[in-house]
Amino acid sequence: MKSHIFALTAFLLLIFYVDMVNAKPFSSCPHIGYLFHQSENVTLINVDGRTNHQGSITGTYDAVGFNDTDNYIYGLQNNNVVRIHNTFASEEIEIANLPEHNFTAGDVHNDQLYLYAKSEGIWAVDLATKTAAQILKAEHASYNLSDLAIHPTGTLYALGNSKNIHRFDLSGTLEENHLALSVSSGLKGVRDFSSQFFDADGMFFVIDSLSGEALFFHSLSPSSSVEDVSYSALSNFENVANTSDIARCNQAPLTLKGYDFGDAPNSYGTSLLSNGARHRVSSRLFLGLEPDADLLAQHFPLFDNNETGNDDQGITFTTATLSQGSTAFLNATVGGFANGHLSGWVDWNNDGYFDSGDEKVLDNIPLNEGSHTLTIDVPMDASISDAIWSRFRINEQLNISPTGEGGIGEVEDYPLSVTGFDTQESYVWFPSQGGFATLAFEDRWPFQDDYDFNDVVLKYRVGHIQETMTGKLSKLTIDIELQSYGGGYNNGFGIKLDGIPSSRIDTANSFIIINNKHHDGVLEMPVDPEDDAVLIFTSSLKQYFSSDCDNGFLRVDPDCELDMNERVTASMKVSFNTPIAYPEHLHPYLNPFIFAAPNDNHGFDSPPSRGLEIHLKNFSPTIKADQNLFTSEHDRSSNPSINCGVENSCESYQNENGIPFAILVPSDWKNPIEGKSILSAYPSIEDYISNDEEVDKVWFSQPEASKVYSLTDEE
């Protein structure tokens, strides 16, 4: 790792010149990090305590790493491999088969020194046998790397100066090893990430030597096909200018995040004094979107709304209330790279204690990283209350109790609402709870384009939450996933609720999660509170993905595999102020549409922005749609009024032959590849359209295989 040094305590560094006879290894796996400068200096950095002292040394070092096999630091000096002692003096080591390349990045793992040279490759130096072997070819080493770091699992990562995080698969032979993935970190500006390391729990720590900014990425997972590159920023370090590398024992955990406690009233065992449930927080294993630490236990009514991480979000129930005698579905989101066991308790009798017997609802459920659907049975005699407390704990070890200290993991407490049958809620899904429909748009409207219907393709699902007894609508849950993007323009995505005024949306309890990040503000600001509600997922779909395929297109070219790991998923939860009667013409799939992103001209002289909307055929636009676009160019809408949806009288968004500019398929669907018209990819759709959609109703299941993009083949 690059040259900086982390010190756990305020430690005064004394640098002396000492005979090599007196040189010794460093202490056994020290928590401090050793940050090396290009100016013959070294800095000790205490990541937890913020101490930072600097002193002079003899010589400069680069591509360094701490070897926990013998407690020495290894790296390069004048492009020669050296062993660095606890006095920071060094001795050169002769390495067989190591070429004289310009190595710019390195780290040590399991008695191996890994060295990277741009346009040359990666070499592994066996420190026991003092021999080197190339493990990555030059064709995979085209990145400007100031440092690299080895994950505890042995996977090599590097945050390049392009701000992309690279993950290399070095598990095979030289012929097999390759770049596994490269994903944007979202960081901006000119950077020099000269100091990078992993701790024992898989936290990836990085220092920018230009700004002193310190970041740690807590959700990297070598086994996942998609990396979560969310990070937290610490206060900037001083004395990090012109640094070349850092060395730190990767077996030493960072204690940045402390412990996680529960939130329930203290009678359940929450505070430390009551032997409260607690876990050491780590990116190795956690619940929810990111590890959540508490500075101290803050039990109800205070809760843990601290600023040190996302609060409880790892367990979600599919209904807002649980009903006596019912089976409740919940979703457990597990993060990290370790396997865990989930246990849960619910205080069904509401006596203020978790009984280890019949109130244990989940028992050692083995879970790994990802989202998992689980069920619990609600007793017929469960207390009816708005605040029945529950506790869920994930732990690496088995048989954890509702209180006491666990290992690495997390505890989350939730108040649950339990009702009798008369207020039970039920779900109605489109197309089904476990499946998706498909939305496909042509984004050139009102112009007629190639009709390949791959400009924007979304997997789409809507859940209607109703009061069982009244049938009234109380909530909506809407899930999307970006399947393909073959449009040159940038588009937003929204949904109009025909017949439901904006004033009925409970904005405080409505939200959206995009790529595991929470966002408030789902309701577009209406002109009038009684205007139909418009829900906005995003005004720019392109901000959430990048593709190296031609034109930046996503999954429309079967000959390009550079986009196969790009994923954009979102889930919107919409609550109403009070349950509402269903509007007569509200479709089960609502009224989805795309619109022009701000500052994107969409083929016009000036950007049409929000005024350009593209809906399904014979659906109504929103009040913000530019009515002047209808009947222009190739559009032949005869009734595109904003109220035509509730009046069931729309004649909109179609050309002179009745061909739409957007379609909804009630199942998974393979979109045409770039440049192939839907008429050639799905020949039977022509009869379907020309016969008022009364024949060939399953046209979407009969593609010409060579003209559609197959996600199943890709994955």
Closest by CA position to 439, among listed 491, 386, 480, 396:
480
Q: Which two tokens stand for residue 324?
A: 């006596």
Q: Which two tokens stand for residue 643?
A: 């109220």
Do residues 238 and 271 both lie within one domain?
no
Q: What is the pLDDT of residue 358?
A: 83
- 464 domain-assigned: yes
List, in sequence order, every residue forming a beta bridge with 42; answer none if it has no partner: 36, 55
List, in sequence order, every residue forming a beta bridge with 419; answer none if it has no partner: 323
Other beta carbons less than 10 A from residue 24's beta carbon: 11
Q: What is the mean pLDDT of residues 410-437?
A: 83
Note down the domain range covering 546: 426-714
Q: What is the mean pLDDT of residues 167-182?
A: 95
Contact 165, 159 (CB under 8 A): yes
**Which residue's entry shows tokens 């979600």?**
316
Statement: residue 266 has pLDDT above 80: yes
Is the torsion defined by CA of 502, 504, 507, 509 positive or negative? Answer: negative
Find which of 29-38, 316-325, 681-690 is predicted with most confidence, using mean pLDDT: 681-690
Separation of CA 537 from chain center: 16
What confidence tier does 235 reach under pLDDT thresholds 50, 70, 90? low
CA distance 216 to 211: 15
Q: What is the pLDDT of residue 416?
A: 92
What confidence tier does 299 reach under pLDDT thresholds 50, 70, 90? very low
Do residues 205 and 291 both lie within one domain?
no
Instruction: Name residue 436's amino acid.
Output: F
Q: What is the DSSP string of 453-491?
A: S-SEEEEEEEEEEEETTT--EEEEEEEEEEEEB--SS-E
- 282 domain-assigned: yes
Statement: residue 497 has pLDDT above 60: yes
Do residues 391 and 433 both lie within one domain?
no
CATH number of the structural domain spanning residue 144: 2.120.10.80
Do residues 76 and 104 both lie within one domain?
yes
CA distance 83 to 76: 9
Contact 145, 105 (CB under 8 A): yes
Closest by CA position to 5, among listed 211, 239, 202, 192:
239
Residues 55-88: tens digit of each pLDDT? 667 678 999 999 999 999 999 998 899 999 988 8
Instruction: Name residue 41's amino acid.
Output: N
- 348 domain-assigned: yes
Q: What is the pLDDT of residue 8?
A: 30
**Pairing relationship of beta strands 456-467 and 425-430 according to DSSP bridges:** antiparallel
Do residues 416 and 448 both lie within one domain?
no
Separation of CA 689 from chain center: 40
Residues 151-172: tens digit of each pLDDT? 999 999 999 989 999 999 999 9
What confidence tier does 52 reach under pLDDT thresholds 50, 70, 90? low
Mean pLDDT of the residues in the chain: 86
Statement: residue 302 has pLDDT above 80: no
Q: What is the pLDDT of residue 367?
A: 92
Of 247, 277, 308, which residue constitutes the final position of a domain?
A: 247
CA distance 361 to 348: 10
Instruction: Name residue 491's amino acid.
Output: N
- Helices and strands, counts by H and E, the chain: 4, 44
CATH number of the structural domain spanning residue 350: 2.60.40.2950
Q: What is the pLDDT of residue 513?
A: 83
Do residues 688 and 634 both lie within one domain?
yes
Do residues 230 and 90 both lie within one domain?
yes
Residue 200: burial class (beta carbons within 10 Å; 0-12, 13-18, 19+): middle
Do residues 267 and 401 both lie within one domain?
yes
Residues 2-24: tens digit of each pLDDT? 433 333 323 333 333 444 455 68
Contact 198, 151 (CB under 8 A): yes
Find which of 203-212, 227-236, 423-432 is predicted with most confidence, using mean pLDDT: 203-212
Cα angle, residue 13 at apex, residues 8 and 19 outer, rounded to 5°: 125
Q: Which two tokens stand for residue 538?
A: 């995003």
- Is the pLDDT higher at 715 or at 135? 135
The helix or strand, by DSSP H or E, that contains position 413, with its residue range, turns out to be: strand 405-419
Separation of CA 118 from chain center: 29
Q: What is the mean pLDDT of residues 609-627?
A: 96
Do residues 407 and 432 both lie within one domain?
no
Q: What is the pLDDT of residue 252?
A: 76
- Is the pLDDT higher at 260 or at 147? 147
- 252 domain-assigned: no
- Is the pLDDT higher at 436 or at 686? 436
Find which of 6-15, 371-380, 463-472, 502-511 is predicted with most confidence, using mean pLDDT: 502-511
Of 422, 453, 470, which residue constitutes the final position of a domain?
A: 422
Do residues 382 and 297 both lie within one domain?
yes
Q: What is the pLDDT of residue 211?
A: 83
Q: What is the pLDDT of residue 48?
A: 44
Q: What is the pLDDT of residue 275?
A: 74
Do residues 136 and 282 both lie within one domain?
no
**Phi, psi angles (nearest 5°) of residue 266:** -65, -15
231: left (phi over 0), alpha (psi -120 to 50) or beta: beta
Q: What is the mean pLDDT of residues 431-445?
A: 91
Pick from 242-256, 424-438, 580-594, 685-699: least confident: 242-256
Other beta carbons less than 10 A from residue 567's beta carbon: 12
**Phi, psi angles (nearest 5°) of residue 688:** -60, -45
CA distance 288 to 298: 19
List, in sequence order, every residue forming a beta bridge with 367; answer none if it has no partner: 340
Residues 642-662: tens digit of each pLDDT? 999 888 889 999 999 888 999
Pick from 273-287, 338-352, 679-693: least confident: 273-287
Statement: residue 257 has pLDDT above 50: no
CA distance 344 to 355: 11
List, in sequence order, every residue forming a beta bridge with 336; answer none if it has no partner: 285
Residues 468-491: tens digit of each pLDDT? 778 899 999 999 999 999 999 999
Q: Tell me if residue 138 falls in helix, strand or coil.
A: helix
**Which residue's entry shows tokens 């009667």?**
581
**Phi, psi angles (nearest 5°) of residue 710:** -105, 110
CA distance 658 to 635: 10
Q: What is the pLDDT of residue 421?
A: 63
Statement: residue 713 has pLDDT above 70: no
Q: What is the mean pLDDT of residues 273-278?
A: 76
Of 385, 404, 422, which residue constitutes the final position of a domain?
A: 422
**Pairing relationship of beta strands 105-109 and 90-92 according to DSSP bridges:** unpaired
What confidence tier does 202 reach under pLDDT thresholds 50, 70, 90? confident
HSE-CB at 290 with a 13 A cutoff on CA atoms is: 22
Q: Which two tokens stand for residue 473?
A: 């609508």
Q: What is the pLDDT of residue 307?
A: 39
Is the torsion defined by CA of 287, 292, 298, 300 positive or negative? Answer: negative
Q: Which two tokens stand for residue 660?
A: 């739409």
Statement: residue 427 has pLDDT above 70: yes
- 506 domain-assigned: yes
CA distance 336 to 224: 10
- 684 domain-assigned: yes
- 306 domain-assigned: yes
Do residues 659 and 544 both lie within one domain?
yes
Domain count for the chain, please give it: 3
Pick from 84-93, 185-194, 312-321: least confident: 312-321
What confidence tier does 385 reach under pLDDT thresholds 50, 70, 90? confident
- 254 domain-assigned: no
Statement: residue 177 has pLDDT above 80: yes
Q: What is the pLDDT of residue 516?
A: 66
Q: Tell me if residue 610 falls in helix, strand or coil.
A: helix
**Which residue's entry shows tokens 């993991």?**
409
* Contacts of 529 by beta carbon, 8 Å cutoff, 6+ apart: 501, 502, 503
pTM as predicted: 0.48
Q: What is the pLDDT of residue 423?
A: 52
Statement: residue 440 has pLDDT above 60: yes
CA distance 239 to 217: 22
What confidence tier does 665 reach under pLDDT thresholds 50, 70, 90? very high
Q: What is the pLDDT of residue 540?
A: 95
Closest by CA position to 170, among listed 153, 156, 157, 151:
156
Q: What is the pLDDT of residue 293?
A: 58
Statement: residue 298 has pLDDT above 70: no
What confidence tier does 50 reach under pLDDT thresholds 50, 70, 90? very low
Cis omega (within 30 of 0) for bond into 446: yes
